[in-house]
Structures are given as structure tokens and as C-alpha cells.
Amino acid sequence: MEAALHTEHLTYPSASGDVHGYLARPEGTDRCPALIVIHEWTGLVPYVEDVCRRLAREGYVALGPDLYSGDPVRAELEVDDLEAATALGRAPTVEEGLKAVPPERREAVLRAHEWRQARKRHRYLPFFRATLAYLQGRSDVIPSAIGSIGFCMGGRLSATLAATGADLAAAAVFYGPNPPLKDVPNVRCPVQGHYGSEDPSVTSKVPDLDAAMKAAGKDFSFYVYEGALHGFHNDTRPDYHREASLVSWARALEFLERHVKGAVAQAR
């Protein structure tokens, strides 16, 4: 029988304004380990909320912060237009890319593309600091047993958060570009990465991160999944790769169990 979950949309403060988020946790439990679930560039979409629920079923308080909280343009954009903007960004030119978009959608997709190019990334880290502090202050969370997991842009941010020296028990990365390598010496927790063999712009640079982590004496392990494209874990997209998704998820859960749930025993 599947464990009952409590889910809610909530808001908490940060230095950059209020953060909206989606939280899932097991019902009727004592204090739990927790995970910050960091979304792809498209935002806090239903797929990310589903990931939060999956992690809650594993015994975590899972909180997905919306990094676009307070962004009025993102609030007006449809996910389908954001997805189309991804393809537009890969086209030789914007004009060429728009030819593949139905005429009635071109204005919306172009607006999504322009918003994507103009995102203000400097707002993200204050949101993470606030999210970590919020979780540490919850009565149902063990403050010393908090980790992070992120996908695509969120994968990079999961590693970047660790590289700020944040008090994390572990950080999991799914096909995220490398964090700033100069900050690697600040990492205080194990980091695990999952990458697709058919995602060369990201995967080809992972050896640089591996070398930097080794040089700094940090714990970093990573896996490359043959035949998998970028975004292979997201089962709502055409790039979903079932085998890579299942294997990587099992590995990530084992990693988080060892390091985040492992921190629970140390806290007692």
C-alpha cells in the first residue's frame, strides 16, 4: 500500500522577495530528511512536482522552489511555448527556427525565447539560501539531513549550491552544466552526476569537473548513459529515455539514502 502524502503550495521569504514552492512529505511521520528539488529552465512545472512526490514516497520532505517567483513574464508563458523556445534556441537563426512554429504560435514562442535569454540568474542563490533556511526551521525536518537534486539548469544549480559551501548532506545532478570550477574547493558534501552520451555540450565538460573535484579532494562520482539525450529523466518529453531514467533514478536514490538519510543517524 502506497504511503499517504501531504502536498501543498507555499510561500516563504528571501532576500530577493517571496519564494513560492511546492512541498510534498509523508503523512504522519516524525522529523524527516529533506531535499531541495531544483527545476529545469522551464520552471516549477507538473513534472517537477511529480518528482517531489516521488521523493516524499521515499521518506523525504521534498521542496521545489520556484526560481521565477515574482517574475510577471514567466507567469504568463505557457509550458508548450517554453518547450518550443528550446528548439528555437538551437536553430541556426531565430528566423529559421520560427519557420517550424505554427504561425499562430510564433509571437508567444518568440516572447518565451526572448524571456529565456534575459533571465536574471543572480536572483537564484538568495532563493536557495532562503529555501535551505526554511527547511532547517521546519519542525518536520532534521536540519542536518538536507540535500539537493536538480535537473538541467537545476542540475547545475544543485552543484553550484554545493560549491557555495552550503550546509548540504549531498547534491545530485542530472545533466546540469558544470558549476564554476573555481568554487569547487568550497564543496562540503558528496556530489553525484548523471549525464547522457548524446548531450555533448554538457557531458563533454564533465571530466573538467571530475578533475577539479579530485584536485580539491572532494567526493564526486558520475555516470554517462549510452544513447540518452539531454533531459532523459523527464518522462513528459520526447527525449525521455526509459532505461537511463530508471537506472539513474535508482542510483540517485541509493546515493541520497547513503548520505542524506545517513546524516539522520548521525543527528541522533
Domain count along the chain: 2
**pTM (2 decimals)?**
0.94
In a shared domain, residues 181 and 98? no
In a shared domain, residues 95 and 165? no
In a shared domain, residues 133 and 255? yes
Rg (CA), the chain: 18
Q: What is the pLDDT of residue 200?
A: 96
Which of 86, 117, 148 is the last residue before a domain boundary? 117
Structural domain harbouring 23: 5-68+123-267
Q: What is the pLDDT of residue 16?
A: 84
In a shared domain, residues 109 and 145? no
**For the chain, what percent of residues have pLDDT higher than 70?**
98
Helix H or strand E segment including 224: strand 220-225
Q: In terms of C-beta density within 10 A (0-12 exposed, 13-18 middle, 19 or more buried), how is residue 166 classed? A: buried
pLDDT surpassing 90 at residue 2: no
- Cell numbers standing for residue 188: 562540503
Domain CATH code at residue 162: 3.40.50.1820
The tens digit of pLDDT for each residue in 118-143 reads 887 777 888 999 999 999 999 999 99
The tens digit of pLDDT for each residue in 55-66 reads 999 999 999 999
Which of 117, 147, 179 is the last residue before a domain boundary? 117
Name, in order, each residue with C-beta under 8 angstroms of 195's C-beta and a sequence gap of 6 or more: 175, 202, 203, 206, 222, 223, 224, 225, 228
**For the chain, what percent of residues have pLDDT higher than 90?**
82
Q: What is the pLDDT of residue 120?
A: 75
Query: Which whole number is the average pLDDT over 197-209?
Result: 97
Q: What is the pLDDT of residue 268?
A: 59
